[in-house]
């Protein structure tokens, strides 16, 4: 398991003090507020302050980034967080941890491996590659269960998948 997780992407600058606007790759932008350090290009960057803006994004000020020009140099960069700082509760997991899991149908038959997770406007899709590629919406109607210990995800193979 990787120490760092993909946490989001810097999409813009905000204001004159060097703040950045982050598109969070999490269930909610509030999740990113718990981190005191992010990693950009492998280097730790201390978070001076952060807050949710417009209910969808995170505005952050980083140590050493104090001008719009310095902030603009970070535009497009992926930010990473240390998974140990996440403080996940029992039963919670990181979506990216499903990559590589064996995908099974409701009867326990193998479908292939989870190869990717696509972020789409309508939600996330599991990409399962086996005899063929299957795209499965990550909603309860399609995802019947996850066994983090066994490394499996069980999928409801509704007609059309």
User: To the nearest whole number, what is the mean pLDDT of the chain?
Assistant: 91
- The CATH number assigned to the domain with range 96-154 reads 2.30.30.240
Res 88: pLDDT: 79
Tokens of 57: 């994004």
Res 160: pLDDT: 61
Of 47, 32, 126, nearest in space to 87 by CA = 32
Identify whether the C-beta of residue 103 lies closer than 8 Å to the C-beta of residue 161.
Answer: no
4-85, what's its fold?
Answer: Elongation Factor Tu (Ef-tu); domain 3 (2.40.30)
71 membership: H or E segment, kind and range? helix 68-72
Tokens of 45: 């960057």
Res 46: pLDDT: 98
Q: Where in the chain is the domain with CATH 2.40.30.60?
A: 4-85
pLDDT at residue 95 is higher than 90:
no
Read off the pLDDT of each residue in 86-104 and give the average, rounded to a whole number: 86
């Amino acid at each position: 398991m990787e120490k760092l997780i993909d946490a989001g992407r810097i999409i813009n600058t905000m204001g004159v003090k060097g703040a950045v606007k982050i598109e969070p790759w999490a269930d909610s932008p509030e999740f990113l507020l718990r981190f005191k350090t992010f990693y950009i290009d492998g280097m730790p960057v201390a978070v001076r302050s952060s807050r949710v803006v417009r209910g969808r994004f995170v505005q952050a000020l980083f140590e050493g980034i104090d001008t719009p020009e310095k902030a603009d140099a970070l535009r497009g960069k992926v930010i990473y967080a240390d998974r140990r700082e996440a403080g996940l509760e029992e039963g919670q997991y990181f979506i990216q941890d499903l990559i590589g899991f064996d995908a099974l149908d409701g009867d326990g038959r193998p479908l292939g491996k989870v190869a990717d997770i696509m972020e789409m406007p309508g939600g996330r899709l599991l990409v399962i590659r086996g005899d063929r590629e299957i795209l499965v919406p990550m909603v309860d109607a399609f995802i019947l269960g996850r066994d983090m210990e066994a490394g499996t995800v069980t999928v409801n193979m509704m007609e059309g998948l």
